Structure 1
Amino acid sequence: MTTILVTGGTGTLGRLVTDRLRADGHEVRVLSRHSEPYAVDLREGGRALDTALAGVDTVVHCATTLRGGDERSAANLVAAARRAGVAHLVYISIVGVDRVPYGYYRSKLAVEKAVEESGLGWTVLRTTQFHDLVVGVLRVLTRVPFVVPSLGVRDQPVEVAEVADRLAALAVGAPAGRVPDMGGPEVRTFGSLARAYLDATGRHRAVVNVPLAGKAYRAFREGGHLAPGHAVGKVTFEEYLAARFGGGEDGRRG
């Protein structure tokens, strides 16, 4: 039986990866800042991280934050994994981190490099945006009487449960390096995703297209974050919305 540690194991993706690995009979340790017995802040590292990694065969690194610190966390994790003799480090990244000059993407790319140069066996999977993230953005936008998607931007949302299946399979396999990207089944305009969300939640908002400026926006507009050649996801955005909001936002329409 393999002992696997999942960082960010209480998060949207990490929780599902943990469930799948445990269902397959693996011993799984969940590492997060507030989850005992392996409550560790990766940005700090230290003895608690060494304890969490003792006897671990594989690490699935799902922990991340938009507030900064991913590179420091990765450096601490890699160093501790080396000390513990971990055989396989699996990292979940994002399609386009090498093409879109956006701060968070640059950080993810730097972590990829740290994983590749770690001296450990490694696997990196890049995916497009999760359905959940798209809905989170749209929920914020629909707090006002109109929705303002960026003109010309498209997205290719993928179901997080499908990503968890893929990541769990990679975790129990041999180190594979950079594996093929994983994208959702459809490339959609952000405006069409907004309209689908409004329809599913029974909201009435005007959808207004507003162009933005800057290098990052240009890269998004040009599709640097898309993987149309790897549209392997099965669940469409509408199917996800129907499952989550069958009765509208918070279970009721109107």
Structure 2
Amino acid sequence: MATILVTGGTGTLGRLVTERLRADGHEMRVLSRSSRPYAVDLRTGGPGLDTALTGVETVVHCASNPRGGDERAADHLIAAARRADVGHLLYISIVGVDEVPYGYYRSKLAVERRIEESGLGWTVLRTTQFHDLVASALRALTRSPVVPLPAGVPDQPIEVAEVADRLAGLAAGPPAGRVPDMGGPQVRSFESLARAYLRATGRRRALVPVPLFGSTYRAFRAGAHLTPPEQAVGKGTFEDYLARRAGRRE
């Protein structure tokens, strides 16, 4: 079995990927800013990164920060992976990064291009947003009795565990380049997702669709972040996720 390193291996996705690959018999290394013995901040790099990659055959790059630094982190990771002769670099990205002019999406696209041009064997998987992210956004929005929602914006959330399964399968195989995108099972209005969240949490709020402006809003409203129907391969719905989360709290 291979020695595989997962960056961001303590995060929502990385933790599940690590668990699946370890269960399959792979030797796993988890790299994050606080996970010893491979505690490394990819944004600054350093000798600890070379140590973490020594003897590694595959890297699953899950580490990401919407506040910035992803491109610098990718530069450090790619350089160290070359030095370590890593055979396969697998990156998780987002559907629509090449069409939605949002800063974080542009950064993810820039990382994709760095990986493609790295000279390493590579795989890139793009997915739609995770249920967890949608729920976090709605939790913040519904603190107020009046909830503003972006008017006319659809979404297609996917279960993070399903993405972890796909990543683990790709990590165990050879480099595959850009693989088919992976989307959740339903394209939903953001308002319908908010209503599902309110029902699940027993809250009553006034939902107010708010028209926004700019190229990013137009791209989201046009569905540039959604997959075509044949790539809507996820099974778990947002309601399934909410019911499971409620069960964990009981």
- TM-score strictly above 0.5: yes
Report the counterpart of residue 233 of structure 2 in structure 1: 232
Q: Tell me how large the CA RMSD over aligned residues is.
A: 0.9
SS in structure 2 at match of 1:148: strand
Answer yes or no: is 1:63 the counterpart of 2:63.
yes
SS in structure 1 at match of 2:100: coil
The answer to whether the 8 A contact 1:127-1:182 is kept is yes
Letter in 1 for 2:109: L
- Aligned-partner Cα distance in 2 for 1:245–1:216: 33
Report the counterpart of residue 44 of structure 2 in structure 1: 44
Detail structure 1 runs of 4+ shifted over 4 Å in the superposition: none
Equivalent residues in 2 for 1:66-215, closer than 5 Å: 66-215=66-215
- Aligned-partner Cα distance in 2 for 1:123–1:228: 21
Letter in 2 for 1:139: R
The answer to whether the 8 A contact 1:154-1:221 is kept is yes
SS in structure 2 at match of 1:209: strand
Identity, % of aligned positions = 76
Letter in 1 for 2:242: L
Letter in 2 for 1:124: V
Q: Alignment length, in residue pairs?
A: 249
Per-residue CA deviation, residues 195-217 of structure 1 (Å, 9 max, x unaligned), is 00000010110111111111101
Per-residue CA deviation, residues 123-166 of structure 1 (Å, 9 max, x unaligned), is 00000000000000000001100221110000000000000000
- Aligned-partner Cα distance in 1 for 2:247–2:146: 22
| Residue 246 of structure 1, CA deviation | 4.2
Letter in 2 for 1:241: L
Unaligned runs of 5+ in 2: none
SS in structure 1 at match of 2:150: coil
The TM-score normalised by the length of structure 2 is 0.98
SS in structure 1 at match of 2:209: coil
Unaligned runs of 5+ in 1: none
| Residue 228 of structure 1, CA deviation | 3.0
- Aligned-partner Cα distance in 2 for 1:50–1:246: 42
- Aligned-partner Cα distance in 2 for 1:185–1:29: 32
Per-residue CA deviation, residues 187-244 of structure 1 (Å, 9 max, x unaligned), is 0000000000000010110111111111101100000000033100000111111111
Letter in 2 for 1:244: R
The answer to whether the 8 A contact 1:112-1:124 is kept is yes
Letter in 1 for 2:20: R
Letter in 2 for 1:173: G
Letter in 2 for 1:133: L
- Aligned-partner Cα distance in 2 for 1:4–1:140: 36
The TM-score normalised by the length of structure 1 is 0.97
Letter in 2 for 1:131: H
Report the counterpart of residue 14 of structure 2 in structure 1: 14
With 155-164 and 227-236 compared, the bigger mean Cα shift is at 227-236
SS in structure 2 at match of 1:149: strand
